Amino acid sequence: MKQKIKIALIGAGNIGGTIALLAGVKELGDVVLVDVAEGLAKGKALDLSHAAAALGSSTAYAGSTDYSAIQDADVCIVTAGVARRPGMSRDDLLSTNAEIMRSVAQGIKHYAPASFVIVVSNPLDIMAAFCQRLSGLPPEKVIGMAGVLDSARYRSFLADECGVSPSSIQALVLGGHGDEMLPLRSCTTINGAPVSLFIADARLDAIETRVRNAGAEVVALLRSGSAYYSPAASALEMAESYLKDSKKLLACSAFLRGEYGVHNLYAGVPVIIGNAGVERIVELKLTSEEQAAFSQSIRHIKELWEKVSLAC
Ligand code: APR
């Protein structure tokens, strides 16, 4: 009999806890939470078990401080790390989260080397690269969650602007998960019709600026911690595409071997996720303006990566 799917959540804070709840609602598999904070993962697992009973979900939950709990997981979602505080950029988290990623990657390498790993910790593109390098897993099995979230934010703002359902909007946000991310206007449609037929360019410029700052907008309002419902929902969409072999085309931070002219770097591009992990990186033809903005975003990732890669 096939074993039940096992989803390991490394980091049981705001995002990890929310992913755990959503995974149970969708009954994607059993969930184990791991967190260094004594009692946190166990406490959340207990609470979530009770929520599963209330929801009529068959998902079983467990929590631990020990990485051995992730043994043979099918999917590992990494949210371990510190979150931003008001006034901080994602890049400000670099040194703290890189140290944390070191132990996370060792844990994955030892206990779940066959898993599909989704990194959520920031600065995202760097943490995904760091996790892949240190765990030694194939790049196809380590991916970063950013573009799904940034695209969801873009779709949400466009939906409000046009008075249509976000589900009728298709959008992709590429590049790094930072201030230089690139909402791809040329690929943004409302049920197939170009978005520029609905919204004037100047207004689209303002919406795209808001997308780039949406994470900071949430941080400023929350005053402690950063966004967690939307990152959780986004990471789960990626996990689901892997587990169900849905082959969804999603914007994710993936390892580039020459695609888009970028070598040996993680950056946000459209990928197809199926049961082999990243099954294909889709190369879109960018306009010259988009290509320039993409290259600028890549330069920024490269600079950050050069700072930490020596420590790998
Ligand atoms: N192993 C496991 N868990 C760890 C480790 C570690 N080595 N180090 C820290 N943690 C845990 C913390 O104890 C904390 O519970 O990671 C958890 C992070 O949770 P939150 O502080 O609530 O942060 P969250 O909002 O979930 O964001 C996590 O995702 O989007 C990014 O920028 C965000 O880097 C941040 C990460």
Give the whole-angstrom CA distance, residue 35 versus residue 81: 10
| Separation of CA 72 and ligand 1 centre (Å) | 22
pLDDT digits (tens, 9 = 90+) for 190-232: 999 999 999 999 999 999 999 999 999 999 999 988 999 999 9
33 touches ligand 1 (CB under 6 Å): no
Give the Cα separation of 222 and 229 in Å (integer): 13
Q: Whose CA is nearest to atom 34 of ligand 1?
A: 121
Verify whether ligand 1 is closer than 6 Å to residue 298 (CB atom).
no
pLDDT band for 169, please (50, 70, 90 cuts).
very high
Substitution site in 82, 127, 177 for ligand 1 pocket (most atoms within 8 Å of beta carbon): 82
Kindly state the tokens that stand for 262.
């970028």
d(CA 102, CA 95): 11
Distance 174 CA to ligand 1 centre (A): 24
Q: What is the pLDDT of residue 312?
A: 64
Q: What's the predicted TM-score (pTM) here?
A: 0.96
Nearest in space to 306 (alpha carbons), one of 129, 90, 134, 79: 129
Atom 16 in ligand 1: residue holding the nearest Cα: 80
Q: Where are the beta strands (DSSP E) in the chain?
A: 6-10, 30-34, 61-64, 75-78, 116-119, 142-144, 169-170, 173-174, 182-183, 189-190, 193-194, 248-257, 263-274, 277-281
Q: CA-to-CA distance for 239 and 141, rounded, in angstroms?
A: 11
Establish whether 50 is a catalytic residue. no
Alpha carbon nearest to ligand 1 atom 13, residue: 37
In our burial notation (b when 16+ CB lie closer than 10 A, e otherwise), range 92-108 reads ebbeebbebbeebbebb
SS3 122: coil
241 touches 253 (CB < 8 A): no
Does the beta carbon of 120 lie inside 6 Å of ligand 1?
yes
Catalytic residue of the set 50, 110, 177, 263:
177
pLDDT in the model for residue 22: 98
Residue of minimum CA distance from atom 36 in ligand 1: 121
Burial class (CB in 10 A: 0-12, 13-18, 19+), 221: exposed
Range with the lowest mean pLDDT among 13-17, 166-170, 289-293? 289-293
Segment 277-303 mean pLDDT: 93
Using one digit for the tens of pLDDT, what is the confidence trace for 104-145?
Answer: 999 999 999 999 999 999 999 999 999 999 999 999 999 999
Is the CB of residue 230 below 6 angstroms from any atom belonging to ligand 1?
no
Is pLDDT of 2 > 70? no
Ligand 1 centroid, distance to 262 Cα (angstroms):
30
Which is the closest atom of ligand 1 to the Cα of 34?
A: 2
Ligand 1 pocket, 126 CB below 6 A? no
Residue 306 above 90 pLDDT? no
Lowest mean pLDDT among 51-60, 67-76, 87-96: 87-96
Cα 52 versus chain centre, distance: 25
Ligand 1 pocket member 225 (CB < 6 A): yes
Helix (H) or strand (E) holding 93: none
In 3D, which of 155, 156, 185 has the Cα closest to residue 170? 155
How much is the pLDDT for 84?
79
77 Cβ below 6 A of ligand 1 = no
Average pLDDT, the chain: 94
255: β partners: 266
pLDDT per residue over 255-288, tens digit each? 999 999 999 999 999 999 999 999 999 999 999 9
Q: Answer whether 79 contacts ligand 1 (Cβ < 6 A).
A: yes
280 pairs with which residues across the strands?
A: 272
For the segment 57-84, what is each residue's pLDDT rounded down to a tens digit? 999 999 999 999 999 999 999 999 988 7
